[in-house]
Amino acid sequence: MGKLVASNNNEIWQLSISSDYPDKYWIKYDSSSNIDYSMFEEGKRIDQIADIPEFSITGKFNEEKFCEFDYLISGNGPKIVSPKFSKLIMTNFSSDIQLIGAKLRVNGKELTGYHVINITNRISCMDPELSEYKPLLSYLPNGSIKITKLVISKNKLTTSNIFRLAEDDTIILVSSTFVQECDNAGIRGISFKEVTVN
């Protein structure tokens, strides 16, 4: 992640996977024996988890380079974060993110200190007049939407440093404070794009 200047309290950024995250580093979530992935997108704390979420990855790659990434992506499950990113979250953003211990096996070897991130805030703050969007499914005009241009209403924002957009739960938004802390810590695997705030 390159250096970003993010000091304005009114700035909002969209969190995404970084462009340098290799396809071969996508991890697998054991959905057959784990909690339903959709529960991690509800924007609220999960009080009881029967089993520790399990993830794995196998293949021919440099395991040390794999471990340099702090934000790991699974195609069928929640995101998990490295021990370094976990420590940053626990120190600065524990009121916004619930960390849930995870098991990660890399070519059969279990790595420790990784956590699932559960973002516990969900805010409806899209400006419907200035944003551009359409129904995700044409035959469900009042269902989920696909946002092609996002503008945030400043008066709907709270003090949360990271939250899911209620209008589209897949969109994660963060404050300038979150961006700066990640940048200072050299967190790898994520990128940020500034979102217009009106």
Q: Does the CA dihedral 158-170-86-22 come out positive or negative?
A: negative
Residues in the chain, how many?
Answer: 198
Output the DSSP codes for 41-88. Answer: GSSS-----SS--EEEE-SSS-HHHHTT-SEE-BTTS--EE-HHHHHH
Instruction: Determine the pLDDT at residue 9.
Output: 62
Separation of CA 108 from chain center: 26
Instruction: Determine the pLDDT at residue 3.
Output: 41
* CB of 65 closer than 8 Å to CB of 18: no
Host H or E run for residue 63:
helix 63-66
Which is more confident, 7 or 121? 121
- pLDDT > 90 in the chain, percent: 75
Domain range summary for the chain, segments of one domain joined by +:
12-197
pLDDT in tens, 14-29: 999 999 999 999 999 9
What is the mean predicted confidence (pLDDT) over 65-94?
A: 95
Tokens at 29, concatenated: 């979530």
Query: Rg for the chain (alpha carbons), in Å?
Result: 17
Instruction: Determine the pLDDT at residue 8.
Output: 53
pLDDT in tens, 92-110: 999 999 999 999 999 999 9
Instruction: Determine the pLDDT at residue 36.
Output: 80
Strand 168-175 and strand 162-165: the pairing is: antiparallel
According to DSSP, the residues that pair with 124 across neighbouring strands are none
Tokens at 172, concatenated: 């994660």
pLDDT in tens, 142-163: 778 899 999 999 999 999 999 9
Q: Would you call 35 helix, strand, or coil by DSSP?
A: coil
Which amino acid, residue 173?
L
The pTM for the full model equals 0.89
Q: What helix, strand, coil percent values describe the chain, rounded to 5?
A: 20, 35, 45
Q: Would you call 104 helix, strand, or coil by DSSP?
A: strand
